Structure 1
């Protein structure tokens, strides 16, 4: 089957990016056709392209550039980059862009994240569906000229910009960074060499290797944090940082070797941003802990709940002029970073907050941790719609007795006084994702297990 066939194209174009396996779903023909369609649909005349360390990324990026130039656009290649480095280039240069990465997915995957100038999102509702349809239709060359291809290194400018947004000053910190053989191995040295007097850096797996020889670059899976947790304890470090494959997500490990909830980091950064601009709007997605809107409101901010996914959050930030947004998946969005997500900028906020106090990280974060959470639990389900319907019927019956509230902002959310959960279909994988929360460990475990029993009975 051709990679530009309707079945394949429809399969790999997701809600807010392109994702598939190489070479059966993504190959150079597909990338070339997508580059041509991207230029024509968005009216692009100049653009930037970056790519991650996966073996297939340089050739796919080159083919996309060929397609873009054949449609008349001039292309600036920034080479190896994290996704937030591509967003920086888009904002810094005022150009639309494309990033070749499959983020945390295994080695056989690749993908494309596309944006308009100044890192404005491109999702199914904002141009991606039209690009998909034109790939299927077959975009003609559509231009009397062939665009040019040039190179531009933005790594040092990227590092300087992040540190200007979140300067780190105070006590010296010992920091362990696990790059997972992903793109943080490219960006972290540029950032931390500027913090040599402030940070004693302990690098882990900085070698760029898209086969991920040590562990998957997916820190939301606790199994992939074990090496970092052990190293933090062995080094008696103040903090550990774990990045995903394209380094747009960051997870923390405290000085005790304990993983930190992304909701807790969301609340910490929200507090820092609200201190700079009181009364601002803070975005949190619907699987973030209820502690986040509580803390934002207590600090005088305006919490606003939104769907999961970067294109939705960025659009909501633009509509509301929100100063910051956080997702429980480890994505953190900053108005001063063109509303784009940056794992490294989130990490710098954590380091800055920690350096300003004599407290250990666990003590610093204690005020932002209020409710036990299950973490994201994934289940493969044959009939996702049937399972969601069964869940809704089960919990709707409790609406009167337990004050249960149900909504469908993204999947199925069920909220009661002492617990809450959300179940939604993955936008990138054939899974149902469960996130549950309770007033205490016992309550959380009970609702988690009850919901899981229904989900997994539908396999």
Structure 2
């Protein structure tokens, strides 16, 4: 008989969540064991109930059932929130005062994947806390209670929608195209925006775990082509896209320009600072250099964080931030909202700002811009991505640079641009990003970075 260490793959215990291929690395048995581990930890932290929800993936119902079974085996109660966007699950942990919840979601991964995003006692689990769950399972440090925890189905969607409808006010009617990519956010977002006063033109807003049209990941430009086409051919003023579980936002202007999340962050930060001078704004290392002068010129405090939604939340708590933006599209409001990443709520705040202008696209076009690359990747063997970046940090010479930031990989700042290399926490790649004031400066910075990378990794397969 196989031991638990032989039947459970450590590879699914990632930096920010648990994620694997359904029925291969992520099974019902694994979900039940994770549930027992979470229940055991909940007992120690005096948490009586854990909220559990799921996205629209086909495997969601049975994996959620297995997870809830495990939690209840450990004697902890479950609030079953049902099929909802991940942010609604986060909202339920505030609304039901548990501070604890699990979203069964594969986010933007292919259809055969699923995963678990977890929070316990008001802390989002990441890094060592997720590895500790693995250790608890393989060492059989799991509590089995004499009496299983209670179970209750709770519909928090009406409370979630009412909270937003009472908070966000549009200045005029507006027509928007909403592309949900057949993810879980579609029906809720259409209903909410319509009630807010938006004329919604829906695109792939029915939930379909096969994702038959395009992948629900607005950070990939090819997934925004349908949205651009409808904007070009119709009379809508703005395009909005959500990812598979609704915690990330994509924005496209009427003329097809993608407003990347670091520029969205400037728009939101400026709006908050207009009402709250001195507000603390957090952004991750991948964001534009323009964000700091933009925030500081408006009386704000700018704080750079490591990348990753869990790490951003921890940084926000540490510095008591009012807002955070991450280049991947996670947007966190903590001024009029409880501080979790919510693509749907962020889209309502976007529309609130845009409807103050006769031309909805004018505030977006006015945002500072730069010449930049999308996220580029150097493929490596498992674990080699971390070593490559460490060698770069230790050996590279950037005597011509103004600043070198090493909180997450290495970000080298010049007077006219920056280069970033950081090891991905989820896949064996080195993530690269470049930005500059001009195309010529961008080319120079890329050449300079290439030179130093090839010194420490001569065989690196560079994507530029």
1:13 Cα deviation (Å)? 0.8
1:404 to partner: Cα distance: 4.4
Instruction: Indicate conservation of the 8 Å contact 2:389/2:423, yes or no.
Output: no
> Does the 8 A contact of 2:417 with 2:442 survive in 1?
yes
* C-alpha displacement of 1:445: 4.1
Q: For the Cα contact (< 8 Å) 2:266–2:295, is it kept in 1?
A: yes
- Aligned residue runs from structure 1 range 197-208, under 5 A: 198-208=197-207
Tell me how far apart the structure 2 counterparts of residues 124 and 185 of structure 1 sit (CA, whole Å). Answer: 31
Deviation at 1:2, TM superposition (A): 7.0
What's the counterpart of residue 435 of structure 1? Answer: 433
Aligned residue for 2:118?
Answer: 114
Q: Which residue is 2:145 aligned to?
A: 143
Quick check: which one's helix share is greater?
1
The farther-off stretch of 74-83 and 336-345 is 336-345
Deviates more, 1:78-87 or 1:315-324: 315-324
Say if 1:451 and 1:109 are closer, same or farther in 2 by CA, change over 3 A.
farther
**Counterpart of 1:19?**
19
After superposition, the Cα gap between the structure-2 partners of 1:270 and 1:3, relative to the gap in structure 1 and judged at 3 Å, is farther
**Aligned equivalents of 2:27, 2:227: Cα separation in 1:** 34
What is the Cα deviation at residue 406 of structure 1?
2.3
Judged with a 3 Å threshold, the aligned counterparts in structure 2 of structure 1 residues 346 and 444 are, in CA distance, closer, same or farther, namely: farther
Correspondence 1:124-163 to 2 at 5 A: 124-125=127-128, 127-163=129-165
Give 1:56's aligned residue: 59
Query: Does the residue aligned with 1:379 lie in a helix, a strand or coil?
Result: strand
Contact 1:9–1:135 at 8 Å: present in 2 too?
A: no
CA 148–407 in structure 1, closer or farther in 2 if over 3 Å, else same: same
Corresponding residue of 1:285 = 284
The equivalent residue for 2:34 is: 34
**Alignment coverage as a number of residue pairs:** 450
Question: Helix, strand or coil for the counterpart of 1:341?
Answer: coil
Alpha carbons of structure 1 residues 3 and 233: separation in structure 2 relative to 1, 3 Å: farther
Gap runs ≥5 in structure 1:
none
Q: Which residue of 2 aligns with 1:86?
A: 89
3-state SS of 2:328 partner: coil
1:8 CA displacement: 4.2
CA deviation vs aligned residue, 1:348-376 (integer Å, no higher than 9, x gap): 11111110111241x21233223222121
Contact 1:90 1:117 in 2 (8 A): no
Do residues 101 (structure 1) and 102 (structure 2) align? no
In structure 2, relative to structure 1, the CA distance for the partners of 1:179 and 1:2 (3 Å cut) is: farther
Q: Is the contact between residue 42 and residue 76 of structure 2 (CA under 8 Å) also seen in structure 1? A: no
1:262 equivalent to 2:261? Answer yes
Residue 129 of structure 1 deviates from its aligned partner by: 2.7
How far apart are 1:409 and its partner, in Å? 0.7
SS state of the match for residue 61, structure 1?
helix
Separation (CA, whole Å) in 2 of partners of 1:139 and 1:62: 22
Larger mean CA deviation between 363-372 and 352-361 belongs to 363-372
Given the superposition, is the C-alpha separation of residues 164 and 450 from structure 1 closer, same or farther in structure 2, using an over 3 Å criterion?
farther
1:73 aligned residue: 76
What's the secondary structure of 2:124's corresponding residue?
coil
**CA distance in structure 1 between the aligned counterparts of 2:2 and 2:268, rounded to whole angstroms:** 46
Deviation string 1:140-196 (CA, Å, 9 cap, x unpaired) is: 44322111211011112112222333x13222111000000001213213312312x
Residues in 2 aligned to 1:229 and 1:181: alpha-carbon distance in whole angstroms: 17
CA contact (8 A) 1:9 1:132 kept: no
Let me know the Cα RMSD of the aligned residues: 2.1
C-alpha distance in structure 2 between counterparts of 1:150 and 1:386, whole Å: 47
Aligned to 2:315: 316
Secondary structure of the corresponding residue to residue 413 of structure 1: strand
Residue deviations 1:308-328, cap 9 Å, x none?
112211112112211000001
Q: In the aligned structure 1, how far is the partner of 2:225 from the partner of 2:421?
A: 27
Using the alignment, how far apart are the partners of 1:88 and 1:202 within structure 2?
A: 26
Compare 306-315 and 56-65 and name the one that shifted more: 306-315
Query: Would the alpha carbon gap of residues 449 and 35 (structure 1) be closer, same or farther in structure 2, given more than 3 Å must change?
Result: farther
**Contact 1:3 1:24 (8 Å CA) reproduced:** no
Quote the offset at 1:420 in angstroms. 0.6
Kept in 1: contact 2:37–2:143 (CA 8 A): no
Q: Which runs of 5+ in 2 are unaligned?
A: none
The 3-state SS of whatever aligns with 1:260 is coil
With over 3 angstroms needed to count, the CA separation of the structure-2 counterparts of 1:379 and 1:210, relative to structure 1, is farther
State the SS of the aligned residue for 2:206.
Answer: coil
Q: What is the TM-score when the length of structure 2 is the normalising length?
A: 0.92
